[in-house]
Amino acid sequence: MAAAHTTNAGKMLYALSMHPSELHVVEPGSVVDLGAIDPGRTPGLSGSKEKERASAEAMHAENVVAMRDLQYRLWAEGGRSVLVVLQGMDTAGKDGTIRHVFGALNPQGVRVEGFKQPTSEELAHDYLWRIHRKTPGAGRIVVFNRSHYEDVLVVRVHGLVPEAVWQRRYEEINAFERLLAGSGTTILKVFLHISKDEQKERLQARLDDPAKRWKFSAGDLAERKRWGEYQQAYTEALSRCSTEHAPWFVVPADRKWYRNWAVSSIVRRALEQLDPQPPEAEFDPATVEID
């Protein structure tokens, strides 16, 4: 059923046939075809691109306001938590998503964790050891910028372990996420899907901008040459690890404004479904007198 949404000012009206949570979720047991998903599309919006962008930006702003209140309630409730996993090719927009979707929330209750090449200490443990230590405690939201999925992505593409090892990791990851979910953590996993052409433009933009040049490395070009291998690796991870307790969402991310709206909509709905409630006061407020 189509749902009508308006901005606070009531100056725009646009219809959504489906919520981004429904549009982009990978149904458990389904096989993902990334080649059939256009990274430049804007499903759920209609009209000219200018109107779509204005609508998406207005809705995104409303999402952030709602998320701020929901985060406060989650923190006050102090019983459950949320883990958001962001994955994507280089330049897919993980940092931008974190800034635009979570940047306005109270940093006391939100933490961002990034996972780069493992340290010697981390390599001395199982591959999930460093991940488990960073998962959210009660009342908190944690955002992973890359995650345990690197161990079935870059590890697979570069042959860092035998195939028999990374093949069994899909079930290990599912079991790990089931443990987190059973302990009160809502898990949302988002794959930011960009095109190879868009990646080229963004890499070039980094080169052209002295302020962003530090983000560019020769390794980016080496990884770009493995684009097809990474697409295959992501396809298998998305297909085998989207579950009822930890779903994957494939968000078209060539248009940053669409990406921001889609991700904030997914997170907002998950928080609304949790409907966190602050605890009841253990005293009668009417009996308290402040001099």
The phi, psi pair for 184, rounded to 5°, reads 100, 15
* Distance, CA of 183 to CA of 180 (rounded, Å): 5
pLDDT bin (cut points 50, 70, 90) of residue 11 is very low
pLDDT digits over 225-241, tens only?
A: 999 999 999 999 999 99
Looking at residue 17, what is its pLDDT? 59
Cα separation, 58 vs 13, in Å, equals 11
Mean pLDDT over all residues of the chain?
A: 92
- Cβ neighbour number for residue 46 with a 10 Å cutoff: 13
Per the DSSP assignment, residues forming a β-bridge with 86 are 145, 190
Position 101 pLDDT exceeds 90? yes
Q: Residue 75's pLDDT is what? A: 97
Is residue 143 predicted with pLDDT exceeding 70?
yes
User: Cα separation of 89 and 222, whole Å?
Assistant: 12
Structural tokens at position 41: 């599309």
Q: Could you give all domains of the chain from N- to C-terminal order, each with its CATH number? A: 20-277 (3.40.50.300)
Per-residue model confidence (pLDDT) at position 272: 98
pLDDT above 50 (res 179): yes
pLDDT band at 29 (very low <50, low <70, confident <90, very high): very high
Mean pLDDT of 195-217: 94
Residue 276: how many other CB atoms lie within 10 Å: 20
Predicted pLDDT of residue 282:
80
